């Protein structure tokens, strides 16, 4: 079996070595050093334009959960199955990130950080956790894990998803019909949706206005889901109390971007769930192995849905 390996990350060779150790029977080529020879499968992450030109694979394995960047490639072979990374250590990181955001907002930590900058000693009233409702948009592999985790921490949790979901202790809403009800009582909105034509710009003024006054936004799906100007308006008008943004319309976020210096915005550099290379390469090796043996493989992308 021949594998073509490509990664936009600096340590591509190290990742390839990890994968090669899991698949000793396979021959690996690292792109772009590899010549024009044929390969059975591609393992890739954000391939540059031209990567797929003139190439055919039996399957493509994406080294991340989101395939939005991959599906943008006009030369992506039309009928080749694409498999994505599923959890591989990302769910636990998402749980930690959102728990930190929830506790930080609940306990006014962002306000205390700003007070410290002014040497201001002022105690704020605590908010009871049981009255602080968190809404998760997108109850997929990662969203479900976060919803369950927050519920176990004692927060009232609600979720919104395309199809109906039943999660113990979590109030679930589905589709357009359930969206307004979901938003009305959500004090902290966490977007964990994949980026698709439907979800691009979903975090806009019309949606954010349905949150109660003083709500907080956590954006950890993809940056293009957020309409930047609408967020700034909502913060300036006081409708939103703050936002924690891990994903940006343009990454890295340009140094002169308003988000960096906005007093009510916290920026993190796309780290809410990082790819853990050992676990990820182990999972991709298992998927390749199963695929080559003709077994069913989970994580197949539905190109019509875009995730
Ligand atoms: P997933 O298992 O594919 O889940 C996606 C969920 O979103 C599904 O439950 C799906 O509903 C729902 N959904 C999709 N489009 C929708 C729409 N228009 N309206 C309502 N619900 C919709 O994906 P995942 O593994 O949980 O990952 C989710 C996303 O997180 C990824 O695509 C990626 O963009 C992002 N991510 C970010 C980071 C980071 O570090 N910031 C790391 C990893 C992943 P149905 O099942 O009903 O179709």
- Quote the ligand 1 centre to 295 CA distance (angstroms): 25
- Quote the ligand 1 centre to 189 CA distance (angstroms): 15
- Quote the ligand 1 centre to 147 CA distance (angstroms): 13
Residue 302: name the closest of 58, 53, 67, 56 by CA. 67
Residue 282 pLDDT greater than 90, yes or no: yes
Which pLDDT value is given to residue 35? 67
Q: What does the alpha-carbon distance between residue 151 and residue 89 come to, in Å, rounded to a whole number?
A: 20
Which pLDDT value is given to residue 245? 98
- As beta bridge partners, residue 42 has 4, 60
Residue 36 pLDDT greater than 80, yes or no: no
Class of the CATH-defined domain 90-267: alpha beta
Ligand 1 pocket check: which of 136, 141, 161 to mutate, most ligand atoms within 8 Å of Cβ?
A: 161
Class of the CATH-defined domain 2-88+275-292: alpha beta
- pLDDT (mean) for 69-85: 96
- Residues 92-119 have pLDDT tens digits of 999 999 999 999 999 999 999 999 999 9
Task: Kindly list the catalytic residues.
Answer: 222, 270
Q: What does the alpha-carbon distance between residue 43 and residue 184 come to, in Å, rounded to a whole number?
A: 42
Q: What residue spans in the chain does CATH classification 3.40.50.720 cover?
A: 2-88+275-292, 90-267
Which positions ≥6 away from 38 have C-beta within 8 Å?
A: 2, 55, 56
Which residues approach ligand 1 with their CB closer than 6 A?
65-66, 90, 138-143, 161-163, 192-196, 198-199, 220-222, 246-247, 270, 272-273, 307
pLDDT band at 145 (very low <50, low <70, confident <90, very high): very high
Name residue, tokens 């591509």.
12
Q: Return the ligand 1 atom nearest residue 194 CA.
A: 32
Q: What does the alpha-carbon distance between residue 47 and residue 237 come to, in Å, rounded to a whole number?
A: 41
- Quote the ligand 1 centre to 205 CA distance (angstroms): 21
Question: By the 8 A CB rule, do 177 and 160 touch?
Answer: no
pLDDT band at 273 (very low <50, low <70, confident <90, very high): very high
């Amino acid at each position: 079996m021949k594998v073509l390996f490509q990664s936009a990350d600096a340590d591509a060779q190290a990742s390839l070595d990890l994968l090669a150790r899991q698949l000793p029977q396979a021959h690996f080529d690292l792109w772009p050093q590899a010549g024009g020879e044929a390969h059975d499968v591609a393992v890739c992450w954000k391939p540059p334009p031209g990567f797929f030109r003139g190439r055919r694979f039996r399957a493509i394995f994406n080294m991340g959960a989101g395939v939005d960047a991959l599906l943008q490639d006009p030369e992506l072979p039309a009928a080749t199955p694409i498999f994505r990374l599923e959890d591989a250590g990302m769910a636990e990181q998402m749980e930690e990130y959102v728990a930190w955001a929830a506790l930080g907002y609940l306990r006014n930590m962002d306000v205390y950080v700003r007070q410290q900058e002014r040497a201001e000693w002022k105690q704020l009233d605590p908010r009871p956790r049981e009255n602080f409702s968190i809404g998760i948009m997108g109850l997929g592999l990662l969203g479900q894990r976060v919803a369950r985790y927050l519920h176990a921490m004692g927060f009232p949790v609600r979720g919104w998803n395309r199809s109906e979901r039943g999660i113990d202790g979590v109030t679930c809403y589905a589709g357009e019909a359930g969206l307004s009800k979901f938003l009305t009582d959500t004090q902290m909105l966490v977007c964990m949706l994949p980026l698709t034509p439907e979800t691009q710009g979903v975090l806009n003024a019309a949606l954010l206005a349905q949150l109660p006054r003083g709500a907080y936004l956590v954006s950890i799906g993809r940056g293009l889901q957020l309409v930047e100007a609408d967020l700034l308006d909502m913060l300036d008008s006081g409708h939103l109390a703050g936002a924690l943004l891990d994903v940006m319309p343009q990454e890295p976020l340009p140094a002169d971007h308003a988000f960096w210096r906005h007093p009510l915005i916290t920026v993190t550099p796309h780290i809410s769930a990082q790819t853990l290379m050992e676990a990820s390469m182990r999972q991709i090796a298992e998927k390749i192995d199963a695929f080559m043996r003709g077994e069913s493989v989970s994580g197949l992308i539905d190109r019509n849905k875009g995730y």
